[in-house]
Structure 1
Amino acid sequence: MFRRTFWFTAGAAAGVWATAKVNRKIKQLTPESLAAQAADKAVVAGHKLKDFALDVREGMARREVELGEALGLEAPVDPDLPVQRHFAVEAAESDGRRTPAGYRKLPYNSYNRNEDH
């Protein structure tokens, strides 16, 4: 008699445990729950990406200081000297083709690179 009672109780407990586990898993797989999980993971990934970007920026600044010291670019600047400006475009004569005076024009190519494809 006790053996039957034991197995009946063990079976009922296993059934309750399995039912609870299945119901918990079903709740995890609802669209609302999946959306919340995805949002949480996106927030965590965003924080990790921000931390990575801050580490990269800090490393860049540190390396820039190291290079400046190694190349002697951190010399004190005399405030009486004029600021030397660097232009990305070479100075040249203007020939009247709507280009600002003092800038070199790129050679004009009559073909379109996209026509080859």
Structure 2
Amino acid sequence: MFRRTFWFGTGVAAGVWATTKVNRKLKQLTPESLAATAANKALDAGTRLKDRAVGFALDVRENMAQREAELDDALGLNAPVDRELPEPRRYNAIENRNNPKSVVDVRATYSYNRNEDH
């Protein structure tokens, strides 16, 4: 009698377990569940793709900054700057022919040849 009760209980438990398993699988195969699963997988894929794109963009920025620093060094743009300004040029508005310092030869400093630039 005890054996029959044991096997009956085992059979009931196996039946309940199998029924639960089949019902879960059927719920997973409904159109709504399939759509929700597909949407979740698409969101996960989008998140992974965004993370990779952000990582790629950060790598590109880092390499760009490194290359820019290399170019600045090669061109001497990072060299110390001389902060001393040159003496300003002073031109007299009116020439004083008696004072040799006030006579400025404009032709020596400026060229009026129109074709010289070309």
TM over 0.5: yes
Task: Indicate the residue corresponding to 1:30 in structure 2.
Answer: 30
- For residues 64 and 58 of structure 1, what CA distance do their matches in structure 2 show? 10
- For residues 25 and 6 of structure 1, what CA distance do their matches in structure 2 show? 29
Deviation (angstroms), 1:2: 0.2
Q: Which has the higher contact order (CA 8 A, sep 6+)?
A: 1
Deviation (angstroms), 1:58: 0.5
Task: Indicate the residue corresponding to 2:115 in structure 1.
Answer: none
Amino acid at match of 2:18: A
Task: Indicate the residue corresponding to 2:86 in structure 1.
Answer: none
Task: Indicate the residue corresponding to 1:50 in structure 2.
Answer: 50
Deviation (angstroms), 1:68: 1.0
- For residues 48 and 36 of structure 2, what CA distance do their matches in structure 1 show? 18
Q: Which one has the largest radius of gyration?
A: 2
Task: Indicate the residue corresponding to 1:61 in structure 2.
Answer: 61
Task: Indicate the residue corresponding to 1:71 in structure 2.
Answer: 71
Amino acid at match of 1:14: A
Structure-2 change in CA distance of 1:34 and 1:74 (3 Å): farther
- For residues 5 and 44 of structure 2, what CA distance do their matches in structure 1 show? 50
Deviations 1:21-71 (A, max 9, x none): 000010001111000000000011111111111111110000001111112
Are 1:28 and 1:34, in contact at CA under 8 Å, matched by a contact in 2? yes
What residue ranges of structure 2 are gaps of 5+ in the alignment? 79-118
TM-score, reference length from structure 2:
0.61
What residue ranges of structure 1 are gaps of 5+ in the alignment? 77-117
Alignment of 1:1-117 (within 5 A): 1-72=1-72, 75=77
Q: Percent identity?
A: 57
- For 2:77, what is the secondary structure of its paired residue? coil
- For residues 66 and 21 of structure 1, what CA distance do their matches in structure 2 show? 58
